[in-house]
Structure 1
Amino acid sequence: MIASALTVTLNPAIDETILLDRLRPGHVHRAQAVRFNPGGKGVNVASCLADWGGGEVIATGLLGHNNTSHFEALFTTKRIIDAFIRIPGDTRTNIKLSHDGETTDINLPGLVPSAAELQALLARSAGLATTGTLALLAGSLPSGVADDTYATLAETLIRRGARAVLDTSGTALKAALAGKAQPFCVKPNRAELEYFAGHSLTGDDAVIEAARGLTARGVQLVVVSLGAEGALFITESQILRAALPALRVTSTVGAGDAMVAGIMAALREEAGLERLARLATAFAAGKLGLAGPNLPPRSQIEALGGAVTIQIIQ
C-alpha cells in the first residue's frame, strides 16, 4: 500500500506575485501581471505532490475563515484532501516581486491562533497519521506560537508511526531538533544550516560536517539546498551532490518546496539515495519554468531527472 502524504502548515499565505521587468527601489513600476496563489510551504508541497500523483495527499493546518476561496479551489482542482481547521480572521498575504530572474519577498503578519486552536490542530494531525505516513512540518510558526511546537508535533506524529519531514528555519528549527524525537528528514538551505550551526559554512566540507551533526542526532536524511550549486544529500553512510545546468526561470517562488515534494515522492517509492536526489532536483527545476505551486507533466520531470549530474562524495 502506498503511504499517504500529510502536510501541516501552521502559517499559510496567499502569495501575490507581481511580475516586473526589473526592480528599482524608490521608483514607480508598471507590473506586467499579478497572480494570486494559495501558498505556505506545506500547501505548495501538497500541490506539487498532487501534480505528480501516486497516492493520497492530505493538507492540514490553520486557515482564516475570511479568505479561504483560493485554497479551496486548489484543493478541489487537484483532489487534495482538505483537512485545514478554520479559525477567525484572514490568512495573511505575502507579496512577491518577481524581477531580474529573482524574487523579492514582503511577508505580512499572519493569524495568531489560540492555545485551543493549536491543540485542535495537534489532535487533527495525529488523527490523520498512520504507520508509514509521510508527514511534512513546514514553514514559519505564527506569531505567539512557542518555538517547540514542531518538536511537539513531530513527537506526536512519530509515535503514530509516521516519518516526519521538517522544513523550517531559525529558532523553530533549533527547537525541533532539540526535541525527544528526531524527524526522518530535514531540508535546510545553507543559510538555515548556518543559523543552526551558529557559524558560516564555506565549502562542501563545512556543510557536510554540519549535516553530519544532524545525522548523529538521529536524522536519517539531510538535504541541503545550495541554489545554483545544486544540493547535497547526506545520510549516515552516503553523500551525493546533485545539480542541473541553468534553466529558464519563470518564477523561483516555491522551488525549494518543490524539492521537498520530490523528496517525499521518492520516499513514497522507497527509492535509493541517487533516485531521490534526481527526483528532488528535477521537481525543483521543473517548478522554475512555471508560475505558482505547479509541476510540469511527469514525463518532463523524469527527463529532467535523467539529466541531473550526480557526484558521489561518499
Structure 2
Amino acid sequence: MSKKNRIVTVTMNPAIDLACTVSDFTAGKVNRVESYQTDAAGKGVNIAVLLRKFGLPVTVTGFLGQDNAGIFEKMFREQGLEDWFVRVPGETRIGIKVLDPRTETTTDINFPGLAPDMGHVEELTAAIEKLAAEASIVVIGGSLPATVGPETVGELVTVIREQGAKPVVDTSGPALRSAVDSVPWLIKPNDDELAELVGRPLKTISEIARESWRMNRSGIANVVISLGARGALFVNDEEELFATPPEIEPVSTVGAGDAMIGGLVAGTALGLSFRERVRLATALSAATVAQAAPSLENLDRARKLEDRVTIETISL
C-alpha cells in the first residue's frame, strides 16, 4: 500500500490489562471476581488494533518487556500488525482494572513499568525516523516509563514531522507540554489536561473552545478536547464542532480515548470529511465504553451508534 495509507503507532509504556468485574467493590475487604479477561494493551496498541478493523496497514513500535512479550507477539500476529517494538530487559507492566457495574466505576491498579536506557531510546528514535519516512501518520500514545524524559515526546514529534508524516499525540503532563511545543498535527487532551497546559481553570465550553482555537492557530492542525460522557470538542482550521455521544449503558471507560483517536486517524486515512471523522470517532468511543475490553471486536456496534451522535457548530 502507498505511503498515504501506512500508519505507525508508538507505545512507550504498554501494559497487560487484567479487567475484573466485581460488584460492590470495597477496599479492605474480600472481593469476589465475577468475570475477567486479559489483554495486551497500551494506547498505541489499542489504536493499532482498531485501525486494523478498517483494513489499514499498521506498524507498532515502542518498548516491550522481553520476559513476557508472548501475549503481545501473539496478538500482533493475529491482528496482522507489523512488530517494530524495541525489546527491553524485564517484564511489561500489568494494569488491573476493577469494574464495578453497580457503582459504574473503574478502579485502576498499575504496576511499575519498564526501565529503558538511553540506548533503547536511541534505538526507538531511529526506528521511528525510518518508519515515519514511509508513513502518513504516526501516533504517540500513553504515558512514559520513569526512565524516559518528557522531552523525548517533543523530539519524536520533530523527527516525525521532518520525515513528512503527521504526528498525533495522546499523552499528558510534561510529555504533552513537550509535544505541544514541537507542534504536532493532532492532540487530544481532556479538559483538565488542557487547563494544566494553559495554566488556569477552564469552567465553560466557551472557555475550552477559545483555548482550543488558540492552540489550533498556533499551528496544531487538530485540537480535540475530551469531556467524558458529555462529549468532545473538535477544532481544526475550518470548523469548531461539539459532538455528543448517544446514551449508552457504560461498562468501562478503558480504551474510550484510544477509540476516539483511532476513529480520527482512520477517517483521515480513508479520506472522510472533518464532520464525518468526528461522527465516526465519537461513535467508536461510545461503543468502547459499552464493553469491558479496551478494543472493539468489530465495528458493528459503533456503526449502529453513528446516526445517534449529535454534532453542533460552536460559535467563538
The TM tier, using the shorter chain, reads over 0.9
1:139 aligns with 2:135: no
User: How big is the shift at 1:301?
Assistant: 2.4
Is the Cα–Cα contact under 8 Å of residues 246 and 305 in structure 2 kept in the other structure? no
Long gaps (5+) in structure 2: none
Q: Which amino acid aligns with 1:82?
A: D
Structure-2 change in CA distance of 1:214 and 1:44 (3 Å):
same
- Between the aligned residues of both structures, percent identity stands at 37
Matched with 1:177 is 180
1:245 aligns with 2:243: no
Q: Which amino acid aligns with 2:219?
A: G
Partner SS, residue 45 of structure 1: helix
Structure-2 change in CA distance of 1:206 and 1:307 (3 Å):
same
Q: Which amino acid aligns with 1:70?
A: I
Partner SS, residue 250 of structure 1: coil
Partner SS, residue 30 of structure 1: coil
Structure-2 change in CA distance of 1:131 and 1:184 (3 Å):
farther
TM-score, length-scaled by structure 2 = 0.94
Root-mean-square deviation over aligned CA pairs: 1.5
Is the Cα–Cα contact under 8 Å of residues 47 and 293 in structure 1 kept in the other structure? no
Partner SS, residue 177 of structure 1: helix
Question: Whole-Å Cα distance in 1 between the matches of residues 13 and 300 of structure 2?
Answer: 33
Which of 15, 19, 41 lines up with 1:13 in the alignment?
15
Q: Which amino acid aligns with 2:109?
A: I
Which of 129, 136, 157 lines up with 1:154 in the alignment?
157
Matched with 2:120 is 117
Question: Whole-Å Cα distance in 2 between the matches of residues 246 and 31 of structure 1?
Answer: 27
Question: Whole-Å Cα distance in 2 between the matches of residues 31 and 198 of structure 1?
Answer: 42
Question: Whole-Å Cα distance in 2 between the matches of residues 131 and 155 of structure 1?
Answer: 16
Matched with 2:194 is 193
Partner SS, residue 270 of structure 1: coil
Which of 132, 156, 167 lines up with 1:129 in the alignment?
132
Q: Which amino acid aligns with 1:171?
A: P
Is the Cα–Cα contact under 8 Å of residues 287 and 296 in structure 1 kept in the other structure? no
Which of 104, 108, 124 lines up with 1:105 in the alignment?
108
1:163 aligns with 2:166: yes
More displaced stretch, 25-34 vs 116-125? 25-34
Structure-2 change in CA distance of 1:249 and 1:73 (3 Å):
farther
1:270 aligns with 2:286: no
Long gaps (5+) in structure 1: none
Q: Which runs of 4+ in 1 moved over 6 A?
A: none
Question: Whole-Å Cα distance in 2 between the matches of residues 235 and 178 of structure 1?
Answer: 18
- After the TM superposition, which residues 54-69 of structure 1 pair with which residues of structure 2 at under 5 Å, given as runs? 54-69=55-70
Is the Cα–Cα contact under 8 Å of residues 286 and 304 in structure 1 kept in the other structure? yes
Question: Whole-Å Cα distance in 2 between the matches of residues 31 and 199 of structure 1?
Answer: 41
Is the Cα–Cα contact under 8 Å of residues 7 and 135 in structure 2 kept in the other structure? no
Question: Whole-Å Cα distance in 1 between the matches of residues 80 and 23 of structure 2?
Answer: 35
Matched with 2:47 is 45
More displaced stretch, 166-175 vs 244-253? 244-253
Deviations 1:162-197 (A, max 9, x none): 001110000111112123xx1110011111111111
1:256 aligns with 2:253: no
Question: Whole-Å Cα distance in 1 between the matches of residues 83 and 170 of structure 2?
Answer: 21
